[in-house]
Structure 1
Amino acid sequence: MKEIIDIEEFAKQGKAVPKQMDYKIRVDRVHYVVNVEYMTGKEILTLAGKNPFNRFQLNQKIKGAVNKVDYDQKVDFTEHGVERFMTLPLDQTEG
């Protein structure tokens, strides 16, 4: 069984995240374990149960900054400084 790497802890300690492992990622307040090195914004939203995914915006906290993640953008969990993810419901305004 592969080791589970908590990417948030590695980022806080300034350590490089090894490749070819399982990764614990945090979306909002919930932790998920994934066995891939990267996922798209859409895949992360779907994993977190944000359906339909296009009603939500995904933000990534990396090295203390917050960046928007597009639905088709690949997020590499082994990239240095990746901490966690936050979702934001998009308000649907009518007419």
Structure 2
Amino acid sequence: MKTDMFDEIIDLEEFAIEGKKPPKGCRYRIKIDKNKYVVDVPLMSGREILNLAEKTPPEQYMLFQKFRGGENKRIELDEKVDFTTPGVEKFRTLPMDQTEGKNAQTI
């Protein structure tokens, strides 16, 4: 029986740890804070990721993307995140009332 690539779920955190590039045409398991979500698209905006994690209104939250090796990047609301980019490990949210400096480093 032949399986469709779309049936496969790619865990981004596992792929990042193993140093593998996630393939296109699949479903993706992304980790936001401590929760995992399966999405059917290879690209999402910061706003869409915050909505998926039920961080509403998204304008009240900051979103950070963590890469393999510890690099963190702030994702703007309208910025697109490509889940097929190698090294994308997980996402972290912070309410806007916290400062970016110290807290953003604890992902």
| Both structures adopt the same fold (TM-score exceeding 0.5) | yes
Tell me which residue corresponds to 2:25. 20
Tell me which residue corresponds to 1:2. 7
Match of 1:37 among 34, 42, 45: 42
Give 1 or 2: higher helix fraction. 2
* TM-score (normalizing by structure 1): 0.93
Tell me the C-alpha RMSD between the 2 structures.
1.2
Give, in whole Å, the separation in 2 of the partners of 1:80 and 1:19.
12
Runs of 4+ in 1 over 2 A off after TM superposition: none
* TM-score (normalizing by structure 2): 0.83
Deviations 1:7-28, CA, capped at 9 Å, x for gaps: 1100000011010100000000
Deviations 1:48-90, CA, capped at 9 Å, x for gaps: 0001010000000013201100000000000010000000001
SS of equivalent to 1:19:
coil
SS of equivalent to 2:7:
coil
SS of equivalent to 1:43:
helix
Q: CA deviation at 1:91?
A: 1.2
Structure 1 stretches lacking a partner, 5+ long: none
Tell me which residue corresponds to 1:50. 55
Give the fraction of aligned pairs with identical amino acids, expressed as a percent: 51
Between the two proteins, the alignment pairs up a number of residues equal to 92
Give 1 or 2: higher strand fraction. 1
